[in-house]
Structure 1
């Protein structure tokens, strides 16, 4: 039996006309899942092209599967986790099988229990575990339709799930109109219009009478093979027109959209039936009990259902389903605004305010014509609940509607500013200018005016990271000086952070030193906080010299976050971490970067998490933990893609440099410089140039390294400069015969490292001074460098000290001593995976008369993937499968699957043997 591609889903399609290739792809996926694999597929194409029919086909082919379905609904896009709840609802009987943190996160996300906003990654892991548990009993097929209308929280979790499918018998098919960044890198199936011959076959299934050939050709041409258009456009054409009529094919009226054709059919229905359809279209939850309660409010009985079902537009069973999203849209648009408000009013009355207060508030708001303070108050309360349950996006949506319903000017202004702040924090910047305009339309007192200025400044920096951000923040801080001392100081710190990001691209009014001069006159705090010490220390260092600011900065780092709310702690965590870097405080950089990642996860701050992961990855690169750093970089890129967060590839640049990846490093450099120059993120240009200098020094391309290091140090911003580039500059200058540049670089570096006085700082300083020294003085400096760096975890810097010392010894013709140092350096670089420096050490070792012995390591030689290597190390260190799964956001079944592959690759049979075949590295924390 062959049926049209647009046939209703409840009629059990067997074969779709013109979709043999697409069906074969779905059959392959289902076969793979049936055999124990996990697969994901994104089906995409224009509205009406037959995506839903293909999803239905997959459901019909999945015999012996547990099939769970979900569908995005446009009106629920602002309700957090609405889509995920719809998908997981049939599996909630297994909720007790989840670990308690996952179980509580999912219960809170679904509104089944109260609590703080759950970590979205924990919600994602809970969803993965829930599906994995179900798949342990029988294969599971998850079908998602209309993903483009999924709420943001559900969409992010779905992306998380799709990219972590492993060894479960679990399939995921997502149908959407356009593949956005969140679904990028997943397997795709593009669905286009039918070929002319297949389109003709489909038309033949609709018409039982004669169809004029020219009319037939016109229909096929104008629909461009779109199955739903082919089925719907001919409705309403007369028999005369279809038969050729007046012999003029051009006279046939085929203009108008598919939705308009739906509208004609809907308007022909009885009033009661049309009202019933409007109620169903107004509440896309699919709750049939709610539908009939709302219908009873309007006096509509069950006899109205039969004409509705006969249209073929809707299925009224245990769930309410429209045949196609355009049918729902057409129903909603086919009636007057008054009828839509009537439907929402009935739904609000039929919704239990105790069980679902937010949906009731939403329907009540949609039923309101003009200002309604009670409805606005209910939405404001919903905003608070949504913020606690799912973050800022849903709360912002509720408040946005509340603003429209609020009449009292002061309250309207307050709500508009609050909504603007929430949209800003949620990363949904579009409505912010309009909300600011609403607030500014009323007379503003000084507090509200300053708050509006601050939101505008934060918006400018968040959206562009350009040179206009710091001056606007500086202006807001100036206005706050006489209103709120603590907020004024916090805004000055924001301005300094923004100017640090902008770096060399700052305009004069937003230059770091201009901001520091202004911040130097800031009012004293009412109570000294960590951020006040950060502000005072940075301002003092910029205005009075690096050493002068160190005491306050060290005190700030030692107690950072102790007295702060988690939101505030996270807000300035990046600046605290970079302060640790600038003060050469590797211990606090380590602890703060761990805390940064953890806090971003706990608060569900997905826009902040990529930055936190990059900062953590950078210190892991210094530690020589390249595998763990690479995992964090991959995770950061995945989250940034899913959330649309714009961030330069800091970690990836550093990783490519240490790995000696000349081609990849060059590509990253070009990409990064172009992107950040357009955004105005000047600090990333400096970082990319440092990474280029590091890469070329590792490969022994010293002239290229010198050029990159000179560009990186050209815009030295004093106390906030990234001084690592001076280490590369000095080494490259010495190797290219430019001692004057090396001496000047050493003097600049010593200003900071000498004042900082940490082992990391002084170890690097001694290494650089040794490069410009001779005889016993040089040897003494190399030995002191090795001694000091050996007290730290900075294994890359330590290995480089051994390498430079060995190269110096070889040039002094002390070949035996040189071989010892070069062998230490080569072994270290090989173990770390720093291929460029390892090859440089190998060359020097050969020249010194040594033999290069390459260590066989299954991880370094690619026998294990990065993820397998991470799982193997965790298993070696004694973590159980569930513990590994929780850390890597996988299911325990997937971990077990990978361990079997690891054992095979390493030729071992038990976890206990991992310690004998894997190198013992320090935990990354």
Structure 2
């Protein structure tokens, strides 16, 4: 048995096909032309339509290119597929046989005869006509079918579905002109998610994630190339233990089809396109070729300056006057594959001669390397010497990879591949970095290889694996590369921090050799201070960490923060890595504003100077600092940008951390559904990759959203395991910031006694930190746990701290709890002031769900809220009855309503009876229906 055909990433196209078939089933005719470049699945969609249609006969033909010059051969093949004998002519006055006229052309106008035949067949039962690759039919058959398809009025029960090759971005293939005027649907390449899902199915999930990413990129969304590669790659290649061949195996038919699309262009045009394809060898991926260089190459080859225009008109390339880019990457791949090696080398040699001047040394050497025969140690050495700053990392990766290919010594070859992989990673191309590492054949692998593997795993893989790889790299690099040894150990500490493993963090930091190979007082202070803080020597550690901050910043005390970072950038206080360490030190000290300033400077440095690989981390650090400062909208903007960068750069671990930050923002701005969505996405990688910090932040976010929507019991159940000792304990740097939420949830859920130990630990943390919100949050926690005669004073103390520290959201939460307590104490008039202030503050900072909670409390205190409806069933209820009615209509039990509103279950029962009496309902179901009708029809 064969499993049914499954299509990925084609929801829109499948919907269009289903619309056509639904019209046919309803007795209405129509037509649709599917166009796509080679390999994108035109035939698969056609087969899907045929398999889906079972209500009538299907005529099907696939073009036979060998018969393209035989007139009417296509129609003959189509009509020969009829399942039943073709009908006789409709009347005696008609020609001897309209059907025979079609099969034996020349006796009557073929197009009219075909239309007559389709009408006759459709009169019996709805008829589906399918032609695959109609562009390869003979001209007469195409013209006849197009003529008939344009005359399929809604009354005719015939649908025509045609696939046509559309090779380039804007212009149709030669065979599509016959179908002009018909509805057309152009297929695009699969997106990244659909490509990855298809590849997982084809390989049964055996492809290494990095290999899968590289295959998807090389295939450029082409499902036929992915299918061919999955069938022909070896297990070692799929697992990443062997390099991928170029071009990918199984892509031959697609590349041949793309190359054939260029065959119709003039010879001079194809030669200039070859220059453009060869010129991209020394350019970063996707940037195109230098238009001035192509002009000079054309002049050197005696070509007319306007010979590129036919390629532009055909849509093969786009020339903006600065760069010349192929409209599809497979056009370039196909052109290079079709060209003989000797001709390609001659083109590279010509380009190398045109790249003159000292500023073009590296591109010139790359072109010479492309033209070289096998090994050339001298040229390899020249490439390695030229691959230095200030050249971009992507350019240096290209040069070092070429240098490795020209090196005959295996050890030197492996070292240069490793160096190329590092620069590819720094330049934001982890797939290329992994591919280069797979070409290292030295056993055992040198320390540089382990170093790059560790960096890759740190951003996209289990962080425990990253830590081990980086520790191994440090041991191997120590005798001859002190700088990378320090970087490897800082990276291992990064991994331990993400894991939430403080002893492992101290172990990695403790291995950093002193004195440092490059004098760096700030790094030494950072190392010693972090070790002291996590080793229990808080005062000493805080004093040391102050040495990492600019003179204007100071502070003391450990607070939760983001991950430390290794120094992948050049040394110096303005280097991105150094600035990121400054931000981490500020967060640990509780200097939130200093952390935000350092994060902003680090982001500016990365954008100005690179490396690209640090962009998601810089945005993550800045977003977390802004989140701690209460600037949620800014944190959301930076975290969203960071998430896009992390996905683009293949850094799933950073994406998980950024998702956790977005979940925390959503718990303030967007509500439980948005917070849960982000938290679930964060957990998808946080669990398998061991990201304890991201998991802790995501859980905290969902719990805070539960609190906002009046579910304290659920919030407490999520937060208690994070704070208590045990296997589920949260990340050591993120536990304390979550304690105020835990205390609030525990008290509202009736579990106040269980939160006392957490408050004691939070008190010690507050005494050490410089976080301006901590004293206010501690006073709020004490107010929640205090006896009634002390509660008001504790709340007043908390509000005084908030007034000095700022931070509208945390202050509003204290106002809300204070007003709620006053109302519960039957001090309703006094409660309105704090509740009103809380509502305004929540609205000002965009916390709409929290604003809704404050508005509900204010209504219960007897004050109308702007926007309350003046009519409808609820207008007859008191504010407290309205709140209880809404909660019950949502499905809450009396006990759950009591917890949400801080009243007793007996009070809820009393008010609910009155609600039933006033509204004239007899059950909770009737109440829910009444409120639902009122919301849908408020007038």
Task: Judge conservation of contact 2:709–2:853 (CA < 8 Å) in 1.
Answer: yes
Task: Judge conservation of contact 1:620–1:626 (CA < 8 Å) in 2.
Answer: yes
Q: Which has the larger radius of gyration?
A: 2
Q: What is the aligned partner in structure 1 of residue 346 from structure 2?
A: 342
Task: Write the mapping of 1:492-531 to structure 2, written as runs, cut at 5 A.
Answer: 492-503=489-500, 511-517=501-507, 519-520=509-510, 522-526=512-516, 527=519, 529-531=521-523
User: How far apart, in 2, do the equivalents of 1:532 and 1:771 lie?
Assistant: 43
Matched, 1:571 2:573: no
Q: CA deviation at 1:674?
A: 1.9
Q: What is the aligned partner in structure 1 of residue 6 from structure 2?
A: none
Matched, 1:601 2:607: yes
Report which stretch shifted further, 618-627 or 678-687. Answer: 618-627
Partner deviation per Cα, 1:615-634 (whole Å, 9 max, x = no partner): 43344445554444443344
Task: Judge conservation of contact 1:344–1:364 (CA < 8 Å) in 2.
Answer: yes
SS of the residue aligned with 1:608? helix
Q: What is the aligned partner in structure 2 of residue 93 from structure 1?
A: none
Matched, 1:47 2:38: yes
Partner deviation per Cα, 1:484-511 (whole Å, 9 max, x = no partner): 77765554332222222233xxxxxxx3
Q: What is the aligned partner in structure 2 of residue 544 from structure 1?
A: 536
**In the alignment, which of 699, 707, 711 is matched to residue 709 of structure 2?**
699
User: How far apart, in 2, do the equivalents of 1:754 and 1:365 lie?
Assistant: 64
Matched, 1:788 2:801: yes
- Shift in alpha-carbon separation, 1:579–1:454, aligned structure 2, 3 A: same
Q: CA deviation at 1:606?
A: 4.5
Q: What is the aligned partner in structure 2 of residue 748 from structure 1?
A: 761
**In the alignment, which of 767, 775, 780 is matched to residue 780 of structure 2?**
767
User: How far apart, in 2, do the equivalents of 1:610 and 1:497 lie?
Assistant: 15
Matched, 1:728 2:741: yes
Task: Write the mapping of 1:445-844 to structure 2, written as runs, cut at 5 A.
Answer: 449-477=446-474, 488-503=485-500, 511-517=501-507, 519-520=509-510, 522-526=512-516, 527=519, 529-558=521-550, 565=571, 569-571=575-577, 573-574=579-580, 576-646=582-652, 647-648=655-656, 649-659=659-669, 661-714=671-724, 715-716=728-729, 720-756=733-769, 758-844=771-857
Task: Judge conservation of contact 2:549–2:582 (CA < 8 Å) in 1.
Answer: yes
Task: Write the mapping of 1:78-157 to structure 2, written as runs, cut at 5 A.
Answer: none
Q: CA deviation at 1:727?
A: 1.3
SS of the residue aligned with 1:678? helix
SS of the residue aligned with 1:544? coil
5+ residue gaps, structure 2, are 1-15, 17-33, 43-127, 146-159, 177-250, 281-288, 554-564, 869-939
Q: CA deviation at 1:313?
A: 12
Partner deviation per Cα, 1:746-805 (whole Å, 9 max, x = no partner): 012122112225532222222212221224543333222222232223221222222223
Partner deviation per Cα, 1:332-363 (whole Å, 9 max, x = no partner): 44454233223322332344446754443332
Q: What is the aligned partner in structure 1 of residue 365 from structure 2?
A: 361
- Shift in alpha-carbon separation, 1:202–1:623, aligned structure 2, 3 A: same
SS of the residue aligned with 2:464? coil
- Shift in alpha-carbon separation, 1:472–1:327, aligned structure 2, 3 A: closer
- Shift in alpha-carbon separation, 1:824–1:756, aligned structure 2, 3 A: same
Give the TM-score normalised by the residue count of structure 1.
Answer: 0.57
User: How far apart, in 1, do the equivalents of 2:482 and 2:365 lie?
Assistant: 38
SS of the residue aligned with 2:374? coil
Partner deviation per Cα, 1:565-624 (whole Å, 9 max, x = no partner): 369842355554344334332232232232233223223444433443344334444555
User: How far apart, in 1, do the equivalents of 2:395 and 2:35 lie?
Assistant: 27
Q: CA deviation at 1:370?
A: 1.9
Q: What is the aligned partner in structure 1 of residue 402 from structure 2?
A: 401
Q: CA deviation at 1:392?
A: 1.9
User: How far apart, in 2, do the equivalents of 1:626 and 1:753 lie?
Assistant: 23
RMSD: 5.0
Task: Judge conservation of contact 2:692–2:730 (CA < 8 Å) in 1.
Answer: no
5+ residue gaps, structure 1, are 1-20, 22-42, 52-193, 212-220, 235-254, 504-510, 856-925
Task: Judge conservation of contact 2:763–2:778 (CA < 8 Å) in 1.
Answer: yes
Report which stretch shifted further, 822-831 or 316-325. Answer: 316-325
Report which stretch shifted further, 559-568 or 668-677. Answer: 559-568
User: How far apart, in 2, do the equivalents of 1:796 and 1:706 lie?
Assistant: 20
**In the alignment, which of 165, 168, 171 is matched to residue 226 of structure 1?**
165
Q: CA deviation at 1:733?
A: 0.9
User: How far apart, in 2, do the equivalents of 1:847 and 1:324 lie?
Assistant: 63
Task: Write the mapping of 1:894-913 to structure 2, written as runs, cut at 5 A.
Answer: none
Matched, 1:441 2:442: yes
Matched residue count: 622
Task: Judge conservation of contact 1:534–1:556 (CA < 8 Å) in 2.
Answer: yes
- Shift in alpha-carbon separation, 1:44–1:744, aligned structure 2, 3 A: farther
Q: CA deviation at 1:208?
A: 12
- Shift in alpha-carbon separation, 1:621–1:409, aligned structure 2, 3 A: closer
SS of the residue aligned with 2:390? helix
Q: What is the aligned partner in structure 1 of residue 557 from structure 2?
A: none
- Shift in alpha-carbon separation, 1:266–1:436, aligned structure 2, 3 A: closer
Task: Judge conservation of contact 1:396–1:422 (CA < 8 Å) in 2.
Answer: yes
Task: Judge conservation of contact 2:572–2:578 (CA < 8 Å) in 1.
Answer: no
Q: CA deviation at 1:734?
A: 1.2
- Shift in alpha-carbon separation, 1:292–1:468, aligned structure 2, 3 A: closer
- Shift in alpha-carbon separation, 1:547–1:434, aligned structure 2, 3 A: same
Q: What is the aligned partner in structure 1 of residue 228 from structure 2?
A: none
- Shift in alpha-carbon separation, 1:363–1:198, aligned structure 2, 3 A: same
Q: CA deviation at 1:728?
A: 1.1
SS of the residue aligned with 2:834? helix
SS of the residue aligned with 1:369? coil
Greater relative contact order, per chain length (Cα 8 Å cut-off, separation 6+) = 1
Partner deviation per Cα, 1:789-843 (whole Å, 9 max, x = no partner): 3222322122222222333333344444332222222221121121222222223
SS of the residue aligned with 1:707? helix
SS of the residue aligned with 1:225? strand
Q: What is the aligned partner in structure 2 of residue 388 from structure 1?
A: 390
Task: Write the mapping of 1:320-339 to structure 2, written as runs, cut at 5 A.
Answer: 332-339=336-343
User: How far apart, in 2, do the equivalents of 1:332 and 1:380 lie?
Assistant: 26
Task: Judge conservation of contact 1:413–1:442 (CA < 8 Å) in 2.
Answer: no
Task: Judge conservation of contact 1:566–1:599 (CA < 8 Å) in 2.
Answer: no
User: How far apart, in 1, do the equivalents of 2:415 and 2:650 lie?
Assistant: 29
